[in-house]
């Protein structure tokens, strides 16, 4: 290993280039080298000066502090001043990504600065140490090439000073980087990172992008149409596809999935510029859909996102009896968590406005037990406080953590120690109203929790729904619901005092169709048979008389004879003959009794058995209007399709209706089927 200062001097330019190429092997953490080679992405040209300043300030707040005996480089406490503090999201993302990358390699970068004699040979103020770290990471990521500067870019004096210093130590920095790689016997310094961090970065480089459709501004169909106009086409899955495609999420209809390499292209579209599509972690959409299933009309939602300590204290101090929260029925609790179910921590922190201090845990591949205990205690306090709101009927608890200490343990503890002394119904665990799309999801949701484990297609998350048990003393009847609806004006024109149609039909059926006693059933059947025989003989005599008379006489005789043949006690009925056939010679209208009552609705559903009966053309089951009743002949005979059924006035007070499922009688007198047909 080279130790002397003279061994770091290289006069040969070829050796300098070899070491530079040798040192540039995969120190980049966020942009994997495999992805660069496959997509053919251009080499980096550096960042604007303002990005370096903001990244240095972020790094200053999240850097890993060491014990005094292990301190190699001293950092100041004062942040750097920027000429213009940009609030653009892309600007912030670049700054956070640069700071997070420098944080992951903090030990290696500090070793390179010491080994290259930048420290302590040069006199550098302590407040510039953070700026040197982030700019050194970017310098080696650019393979120690000069940064491209635009003419209209505003320069910052501190950035120019540090950049000149690094360029002057270019050769020594490249040699120190190569020695560090050889020391750890690694193909690249990237492999020096903990395995959990490497796996996380590998997932982050291929994880699809999830975008929420802002349905307040645009409908999903309009989004599909706009994307198709820009060359995107819809597929079932976006995995391992390098084309411009998108898919709809299986759990949330208003969430779209895009391949990761389309991020820059999507950010330049109007859909994202106008906030019609918003990049968002899928767990947040799952929580919103769970809340939506619990809401009623005019219900309020209280969303609690305690991403930083001050919000935790604010929520805990909110009085549950605050008059502003009396209409709150559902509380959505998104507590601060370790977030280790997320593969891209920078995107998670920016989209969810989480504390940047979480980047320190991500850089180490896990959360310490002490910090995990603190987070779990805060989550328990927030959940129990949310359960104290007496007007609330449900609490949705959602985290992006994979630790049971922050998930199941917190919920079970809150349910176990909830205040039973309060005069409200206790909470119970309820399964979220979400579709389960695989056997694995079904297995993970057996205990009424919804879990998603980190994978190549999604981040991990945990979801739990707590609902109040129903109070048996507050059971609401149908009349109470209708009364409330009428009070709100939802039942205009509807009289609640009237009984329903079904109740009226039941009452009518009880009055009009009394059931015959079993002792009189045999007598009724005998009387019906006698009546059928008399009607058959009368019809036969009438048909013989009609054949002997002329056409004009037929109509006269038919009308006149009907008054003689018919008995005076026979009831008058409604005609069944259509108006255009009432004067034809072949018409022999049949009549039905006047006391015939429309059958009940259930009679229409009786399955009829087909019977072949020779009938005149006029004998169709038509209902004539009320106005032509007086114009029709009074001699009629009514035959129902369900079987022969007549009523003898004087013997039976009400007609009997065939019961459901009863087969029609087929034993008709032969004269009904073989009588003369004078119309032929």
Q: Within 13 Å of residue 136, how many CA atoms lie on the same side as its CB?
A: 31
- Residue 195 and residue 324: Cα distance in Å, rounded? 49
Half-sphere exposure of 534 (CA within 13 A, CB side): 13
The total of other beta-carbon atoms located within 10 Å of residue 482's CB is 14
Whole-number CA gyration radius for the chain: 44
Q: How far is residue 272's CA from residue 603's CA, in Å, rounded to a whole number?
A: 62
Q: Give the single-character DSSP code of 575.
A: B
Contact between residue 395 and residue 386 where contact means Cβ atoms under 8 Å apart? yes
Write the CA distances from 27 to 48, 106, 140, 182, integer angstroms.
21, 12, 8, 13
Give pairs for 651-656: CB < 8 Å, separation 24+: 651/524, 651/527, 652/524, 652/527, 654/512, 654/513, 654/514, 654/595, 655/593, 655/595, 655/596, 655/597, 656/516, 656/524
Is 400 catalytic? The answer is yes
Tokens of 379: 């989550």
CA–CA gap between residue 386 and residue 381 (Å, rounded): 9
What distance in Å separates the CA atoms of residue 140 and residue 102, rounded to the nearest whole number?
11
Catalytic option among 337, 398, 400, 461: 400
Asked whether the beta carbons of 186 and 356 are under 8 A apart, the reply is no
In sequence order, which residues have a C-beta less than 8 Å from that of residue 103 and are 6 or more positions away?
59, 62, 63, 64, 359, 360, 363
Q: In 267-415, at which residue ranges do the beta strands (DSSP E only) sit?
A: 277-279, 300-306, 328-335, 394-399
Calculated CA dihedral for residues 211, 216, 222, 223, nearest 10 degrees: -10
Place of tokens 């037990």: 369
Q: Is 597 helix (H, G, I), strand (E, B) or coil?
A: coil
Strand order in the sheet with 233-234: 233-234, 245-248, 255-258, 209-213, 277-279
Question: What are the E-state strand segments in 460-551?
Answer: 461-468
Active-site residue list: 400
């Amino acid at each position: 290993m080279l130790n002397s200062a003279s061994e770091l001097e290289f006069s040969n330019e070829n050796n300098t280039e070899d070491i530079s190429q040798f040192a540039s092997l995969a120190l980049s953490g966020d942009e994997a080298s495999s992805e660069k080679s496959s997509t053919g992405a251009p080499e980096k040209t550096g960042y604007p000066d303002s990005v370096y300043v903001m990244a240095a300030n972020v790094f200053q707040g999240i850097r890993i502090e060491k014990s005094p005996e292990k301190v190699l480089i001293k950092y100041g406490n004062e942040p750097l001043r920027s000429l213009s503090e940009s609030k653009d999201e892309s600007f912030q993302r670049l700054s956070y990504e640069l700071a997070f990358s420098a944080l992951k390699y903090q030990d290696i970068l500090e070793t390179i600065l010491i080994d290259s004699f930048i420290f302590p040979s040069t006199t550098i103020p302590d407040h510039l140490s953070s700026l040197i770290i982030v700019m050194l990471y970017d310098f080696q990521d650019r393979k120690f090439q000069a940064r491209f500067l635009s003419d209209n870019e505003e320069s910052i004096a501190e950035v120019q000073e540090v950049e000149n210093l690094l360029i002057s130590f270019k050769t020594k920095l490249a040699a120190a980087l190569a020695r560090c790689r050889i020391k750890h016997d690694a193909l690249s310094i990237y492999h020096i990172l903990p395995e959990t961090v490497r796996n996380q970065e590998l997932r982050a480089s291929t994880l699809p992008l999830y975008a929420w459709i802002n349905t307040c501004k645009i409908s999903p169909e309009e989004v599909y149409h706009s994307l198709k106009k820009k060359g995107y086409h819809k597929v079932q899955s976006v995995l391992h596809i390098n084309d411009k495609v998108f898919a709809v999420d299986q759990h949330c209809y208003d969430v779209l999935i895009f391949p990761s390499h389309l991020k820059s292209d999507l950010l330049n579209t109007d859909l994202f510029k106008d906030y019609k599509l918003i990049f968002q972690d899928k767990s947040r959409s799952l929580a919103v859909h769970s809340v939506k299933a619990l809401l009623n009309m005019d219900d309020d939602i209280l969303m609690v996102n305690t991403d930083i300590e001050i919000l935790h204290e604010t929520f805990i101090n909110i009085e549950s009896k605050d008059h502003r929260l009396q209409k709150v029925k559902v509380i959505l609790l998104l507590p601060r968590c370790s977030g280790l179910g997320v593969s891209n921590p920078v995107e998670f922190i920016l989209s969810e406005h989480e504390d940047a201090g979480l980047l320190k845990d991500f850089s180490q591949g896990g959360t310490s037990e002490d910090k995990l205990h603190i987070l779990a205690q805060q989550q328990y306090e927030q959940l129990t406080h949310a359960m104290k709101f007496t007007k609330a009927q449900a609490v949705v608890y959602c985290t992006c953590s994979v630790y049971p200490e922050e998930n199941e343990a917190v919920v079970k503890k809150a349910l176990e120690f909830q205040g039973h002394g309060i005069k409200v119904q206790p909470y119970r665990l309820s399964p979220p109203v979400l579709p389960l799309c695989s056997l694995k999801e079904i297995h993970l949701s057996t205990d009424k929790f919804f879990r998603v484990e980190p994978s190549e297609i999604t981040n991990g998350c945990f979801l739990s729904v707590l609902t109040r048990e129903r109070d048996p003393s507050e059971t609401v009847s149908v009349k109470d619901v209708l009364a409330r609806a009428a009070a709100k004006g939802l039942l205009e024109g509807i009289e609640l005092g009237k009984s329903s149609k079904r109740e009226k039909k039941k009452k009518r059926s009880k009055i009009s169709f009394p059931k015959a006693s079993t002792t009189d059933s045999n007598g009724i059947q005998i009387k019906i048979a006698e009546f059928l025989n008399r009607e058959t003989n009368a019809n036969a005599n009438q048909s013989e008389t009609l054949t002997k008379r002329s056409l004009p006489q037929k109509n006269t005789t038919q009308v006149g004879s009907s008054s003689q043949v018919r008995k005076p006690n026979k009831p008058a009925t409604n005609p069944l003959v259509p108006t255009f056939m009432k004067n034809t010679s072949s018409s022999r209208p049949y009549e039905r009794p006047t006391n015939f009552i429309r059958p009940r609705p259930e009679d229409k559903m009786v399955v009829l058995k087909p019977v072949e009966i020779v009938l005149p053309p006029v004998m169709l089951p038509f209902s004539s209007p009320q106005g032509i009743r007086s114009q029709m002949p009074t001699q009629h005979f009514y035959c129902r399709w369900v079987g022969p059924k007549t009523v003898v006035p004087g013997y039976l007070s009400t007609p009997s209706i065939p019961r459901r499922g009863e087969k029609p009688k087929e034993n008709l007198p032969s004269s009904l089927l073989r009588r003369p047909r004078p119309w032929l």
